[in-house]
Amino acid sequence: MRTIDVLDTHIAYVDEGTGGPAVVLLHGNPTSSHIWRNVVPLLSGSARVLAPDLVGMGASGKPDIGYRFADHAEYLDAWIEALGLGELVLVGYDWGGSLALDWAARHPGRARGVAVMETFLRPMTWAEYPAGAVAFFRRLRTPGEGEQMALEENWFIENAVRATNGGIADADMDVYRRPYPTPASRRPLLQWPREIPLDGEPADVAERFEAYGEWMASTPEVPKLLLTASPQGLVSPAMIDWSREHIAGLEVASLGEEVGHHAPEDAPKAIGEAVAGLLERLA
């Protein structure tokens, strides 16, 4: 891992390969750049591939901030600028996908292509949220209960990851566990579920999602790749139908229905091949 000073802290990141537009891989909650470990080698032979740990996560610093969506976007912006990156191909899952789309919408002309999976493509309602997760996420968004689950019990690491991706090795779970030894260190993990715009709240995050929805609809010249996984995940069959209707320049490809929410754990080869195909089309 390399590190670079950004704003009031540091960002840790993987940086492998050369050539072509830089490919930035963005992880979700509660993982880190480690989740891309088997994807990076599939791309770094023909492109420069970078994978940061989001602020407060992985080996990156943990400044005293709110860890809201806007905070993560600000630190991501600062990291990209600190490295002098120009045009990018952005790849993300979960919150990493949302941050990728948000960055692309706010930096017109710099996103050469985007590939996302298991992410938030637009604001959702509770009725649309994966049914098996509703009760847990309502608790996480409830003051007191969420703190008990995410901070005291470390629910995201100890329960949520293997609930959708049961095959993760103990050694890899230890890598995900290591940055969060204390309740205070887990604050970023708790804030993420409170940022999901459900039934319009929080409104500021819903606005950013709507803004990148407008960007996706109005930029047919930017190829967008939606990689689908379990139909019980964030990108449901109904969301795929919505995407085909509302996203310009869209290609949809399946990773397989046995692929869980943390898709890079289950399908690194399929993801690497799909992104490599996108790079070839861009070239």
> Using CA atoms, how far apart are residues 13 and 26, in angstroms rounded to an integer?
10
**Helix, strand, or coil (residue 65):** coil
> Using CA atoms, how far apart are residues 249 and 261, in angstroms rounded to an integer?
24
Contact 83, 59 (CB under 8 A): no
Sign for the CA dihedral angle at 70, 176, 113, 260 comes to negative
Identify the active-site residue in 94, 102, 265, 266.
Answer: 94
Give catalytic status of residue 94 as yes or no: yes
User: Which strand ranges, in their side-by-side order, compose the sheet holding 111-117?
Assistant: 2-6, 9-16, 49-52, 22-26, 88-93, 111-117, 224-228, 250-254
The number of beta carbons lying within 10 Å of the beta carbon of residue 2 is 13
Identify the active-site residue in 10, 261, 262, 265.
Answer: 261
Q: What DSSP element (H or E) covers 226?
A: strand 224-228
Beta partners for residue 88, in sequence order: 22, 111
Give catalytic status of residue 118 as yes or no: yes
Give catalytic status of residue 261 as yes or no: yes
Q: What DSSP element (H or E) covers 16?
A: strand 9-16
Identify the active-site residue in 53, 71, 118, 195.
Answer: 118
DSSP state of 141: T
- Of the candidates 1, 4, 45, 53, which has an alpha carbon nearest to the alpha carbon of residue 24? 53
Span between the terminal Cα atoms of the chain, in Å: 28
Q: Which residues are catalytic?
A: 94, 118, 261
